[in-house]
Structure formats: C-alpha cells, structure tokens
Amino acid sequence: MHASPTKVWLTDFLILAAIWGASFLFMRLAALELGAIPMAALRVTIASVFLLPLLVVKGHWPALRQHWRPVFFVGLLNSAIPFALFGFAVVHISTGLSAILNATVPLFGALVAWMWLKDKPDLSRTVGLAIGFGGVVLLAGGQASFQPNASGVAPIWAVMACLAATSCYALSASFTRKHLSSMPPLVAATGSQMGAMFALALPALWLRPDQMPSVPAWGALITLGVLCTGIAYVLYFRLIERAGPSRALTVTFMIPVFAIVYGVLLLGEHVTSWMLLCGLVIMAGTALSSGLLKLPGR
C-alpha cells in the first residue's frame, strides 16, 4: 500500500521544519566562537563533503558538470550570503526572533515572483503582501534600537541582516524555478553547497578565528553541515519537486515554532508577546501572499 502524494511531501515538510528550526541554535553556538563568515564557510564545506560522494554514487556528476554555473549561482544566493547574514544575526538577537524574521521568505518570494516572473498576485495575495510587510515593519520597529546591546551591536542591524538573507532566499527560489526546475534534487543541493563553499573560501580564511574553537562549537558546526545543510537541502529541493516552490517556501511557517521551543528550552531565551503577535501577523500575510489561504469569496 503506497502513501498518498500529500502524505509523502508533508512528511518531508515537517522533518525539514524541525531540522531548520534547530539550525538557528547550532548557528549561534558555532558563530559565537568562529565568527559568522567562517561558520558559514565551514558549514557549506562540510555539507559539500557529505553530499559529493552521494552525488557521484547516484551517477549525477555529469549533470552537475553540465549545469554547474546556474547551480553554483544558486549556492551564492541560497547559502553563502544568507548563512553568513544569519550567523551574524543570531549572535546579536535571539534565535526565536531570527526564525520569525526567516518566516518572511515566502512573502519576499511572492514579491520577487511578481516582479521577475510576472506572476501577478490576485487580490488575496496582494492583501497578504500588505499584511505581511506590515507585520515586518511592526516587528522591526519593536527592535529599532540603534543603541548597542550586550553584544556591542545595535539589534536593528541584526534584524536588517535577517531581512537581507530572506530576500536572497526569495531570489534563489525564483531563479531555481526558472532555470533549475528539471534538476534532480541531489544535484541542486550538492552543487549549491559547492558554489557557496568556493564563494566563502577567501573571506573565511581572512576572518578565521585566532583560537581553536571548542569541542561543542565543532559539534554544532558538524551538525549544521551534515544535518541542517546536507540532508536538509536534499529534502528542500525534493519538496520543491514534489509540492512546488510555493508550498516548499511555506516550510518557514513551522520553523519559528521549533526554533522558539529549542531556544527557550536549551538557551533560556525569552519570548515576548509582541514578538508572537507580530509573528502571527507575518505568517497570516505570508499564507495569503503565497496562495495557501484565500480571502472569503475569492
């Protein structure tokens, strides 16, 4: 007896949300000792080392060699830049707040698809864009302090880094939809991590830490590379293939739930009612803008 197509992609969806929810915790633990860019570089390097043998065994090397340029470019947009930006952010604001801001990915994705792919939204999706961006403004406004916090960096810069990262994810999703739609998930996952590895190599060497990171930091980094990047990106590109890019991007709805729980239980972070309220507004707007929900009568 075979599982229904919906159940198959829904299982990937929930597993991916749980894994990526944990990635904010592991990013924080690793970036505190390594720095944002070295952490991101080692993360994608570990993922590449993990994925490349699988790619070769599956016989996909010729496909990667033929299409390496667009796949490597996706790695720059979908891994190198956002991983470094989130690595910076989670050191200066809570992992829960970072994950809530990460939930704007489908929101920016709908906007990019409208402007680039001419995927014009209907009234429900337009209202959703307005609601979602209103929630982002309210949430960012609540963090809009230019006074340095205990980490020495004003929280607003970390918030802006998160939003820049989610914009990169949105651009990558539309690029993938336009240029890599027929690409096997393992090829897209492996090639994108390799592209990110090459892009970050020199900056990471220049900014490498003076001291050897601790064992817990290395453990967090290895988990980031293998589980939260290598395995997760195979699931993500498979989700795009099975459920479509719009549904795949909505995995970011569930990520904050897992990230907030992990942060509270394992890092002792505090979650404010304002964060939760703005997060709900953002998710409602994102659900409308991605077509997951419709206005009554539409």
Range of the domain at 251: 5-289
- Name the range with the highest mean pLDDT among 22-36, 132-146, 181-195: 22-36
Class of residue 189 by CB neighbours under 10 A (exposed 0-12, middle 13-18, buried 19+): buried
Tally of domains within the chain:
1
What pLDDT shows up at residue 23?
A: 92
Within a domain: 72: yes
The alpha-helical segments, DSSP class H, found in the chain are 5-34, 36-57, 61-66, 68-75, 81-92, 95-102, 105-116, 123-142, 155-179, 185-206, 215-225, 232-243, 245-249, 255-262, 273-289
Query: How many Cβ atoms from other residues are within 10 Å of residue 74's Cβ?
Result: 26
Compute the distance between CA of residue 90 and CA of residue 27 in angstroms, rounded to an integer.
7
Confidence at residue 31, expressed as pLDDT on a 0 to 100 scale: 94
Report the range of poorest mean pLDDT among 120-129, 135-144, 192-201. Answer: 135-144
DSSP assignment of 12-71, as one string? HHHHHHHHHHHHHHHHHHHHHHH-HHHHHHHHHHHHHHHHHHHHHHTT-HHHHHHSHHHH
Q: What angle do CA 30, 89, 252 make, to 5 degrees?
A: 95
Query: Is residue 295 situated within a structural domain?
Result: no
Mean pLDDT, the chain, integer: 84
Report yes or no on 88 lying in a domain. yes
Q: Which residues contact 123 (CB under 8 A, 6 or more apart)?
A: 295, 298
Asked if the structure places residue 171 within a domain, the reply is: yes
Whether 260 has a pLDDT exceeding 70, the answer reads yes
Q: Which residue type is seen at 142?
A: G
Residue (of 21, 80, 25) closest to 217 by Cα position: 25
Residue 153 has pLDDT above 60, yes or no: yes
Query: Does a structural domain hold residue 232?
Result: yes
CB distance 174 to 109 below 8 Å: yes
Please report the pLDDT score of residue 1 as a whole number: 45
Residue range 126-146: mean pLDDT, rounded:
74
Q: Residue 173 domain-assigned?
A: yes
Residue 148 domain-assigned (yes or no): yes
Residues 220-255: tens digit of each pLDDT: 999 999 999 888 888 887 887 777 766 777 787 788
In a domain, 294, yes or no: no
